[in-house]
Amino acid sequence: MTNYDLIIIGAGPAGLTAAVYSARFKIKTLVLGSLPGGLAGEAHEVCNFPSYGKISGMELMMKMVKQVQDLGVQIKSEEVENIKQGKTFEIKTKKNSYTAKKLIIATGSERRKLNAPREKELLGKGISYCATCDSGFYKDKIVAVIGGGDAALTASLLLSRFAKKVYIIYRKDKFSRGDPTWVDQAEKTKNIEFIFNSEITNLFGKSSLEEIEINGKEKIKVDGLFIEVGSVPNTKLAEMLKLKLSHGYIEVDKNQKTNVDGVYAAGDITNNPLKQIVTACAEGAIASQTAYKELQGGKK
């Protein structure tokens, strides 16, 4: 069993930034994350991260991964299965066991499901949660995107480069959550059509998706449906550690401390309101600094 001062669970922007700071603090650190880059890595275009006018989410995340590795911090693609708390924290994955004096939980969030009939059955057969991953398969085809936030808008813009027609389906009468810049771009894109006040009520197709049903009556022929209806926090480890939650998110103070001594949280998993790459990075930095101070015997 390998012992560490700090184990960071999650390899998205929050976890990777925490690792950069812990390396500079010379804390013996390990990063555990089943998906380096997290959901941020799926963003086809990031335009609001300082220093880059425009960069893909995957490229940005790979730069962070390289920086962490160059600083000597190991990143292991292992999923945590169990955590036991004693004098130290014992972390078990399918492959190994580790101990840590401090933990940073940066497990982020996962795609919210639409929960439509046959959604699971047609996954990978016309149903997708990642436009960045799958847009290239829909060249000259007809696709729909459901959702009303930035993820839906940017997915639609990416898909418009490949598909001959893109429908954006949203349950409200206007985009109340999307960045106005993305809304403007979508409105100016000729092969994007908006369908407001609508929800998908059924999915049809034999071996792959062929049609979607809107509001229980209208049917639209599509080759693909991209589900962009938000995300839900990954709370499995939080529940295991009995961390206090607020609406499913880990409650933290200004120093990213949770209600459990020695456990900090950062990124989309926390109850801080703004869910952005840049704020996740900030929270990761703060969590790492707090862990460092407490490891040095500073005020808790």
**Interior/surface letters 284-296, b for 16+ CB within 10 angstroms, e for the rest:** bbbbbbbbbebbe
Q: What's the CATH fold of domain 2-110+231-295? A: FAD/NAD(P)-binding domain (3.50.50)
Per-residue pLDDT, 52:
85
Beta bridge partners of 224: 143
Give the number of other CB atoms < 10 A from CB of residue 145.
31
User: What is the C-alpha separation between 92 and 84, in angstroms, rounded?
Assistant: 9
In CATH, the architecture of 113-227 is 3-Layer(bba) Sandwich (3.50)
Q: Can 2-110+231-295 and 113-227 be said to share one CATH topology?
A: yes
Among 183, 182, 166, 165, smallest CA distance to 174 is for 183
pLDDT at 38: 85
Q: Is the C-alpha dihedral spanning 23, 26, 27, 29 positive or negative? A: positive
**Taking the chain (300 residues) in consecutive chunks of 10 residues, what is each chunk's mean pLDDT?**
96 98 97 88 86 90 97 96 95 96 96 92 93 91 96 95 98 90 96 97 95 95 96 92 96 98 97 93 98 82
Assigned token pair, 116: 């439509």
Whole-model pTM: value is: 0.85
The domains of the chain are located at 2-110+231-295, 113-227
DSSP track, the chain: -EEEEEEEE--SHHHHHHHHHHHHTT--EEEE-SSTTGGGGG-S-B-SSTT-SSB-HHHHHHHHHHHHHHTT-EEE---EEEEEESSSEEEEESS-EEEEEEEEE---EEEPP---TTTTTTBTTTEES-HHHHGGGGTT-EEEEE-SSHHHHHHHHHHTTT-SEEEEE-SSSS-SSS-HHHHHHHHH-TTEEEE-S--EEEEE-SSS--EEEETTTEEEE-SEEEE-S-EEE--HHHHHTT--EETTEE---TT-B-SSTTEEE-STTBS-S---HHHHHHHHHHHHHHHHHHHTT---
Residue that has been written with the tokens 């840590």 in this structure: 100
Residue 298: the pLDDT is 58
Considering just the CA atoms, what is the radius of gyration of the chain in Å? 21
**Partners of 82 in the β-ladder:** 92
Q: 253 Cβ partners below 8 Å, 6+ apart?
A: none
Please give the Cα distance from 78 to 95 (Å, whole number).
7
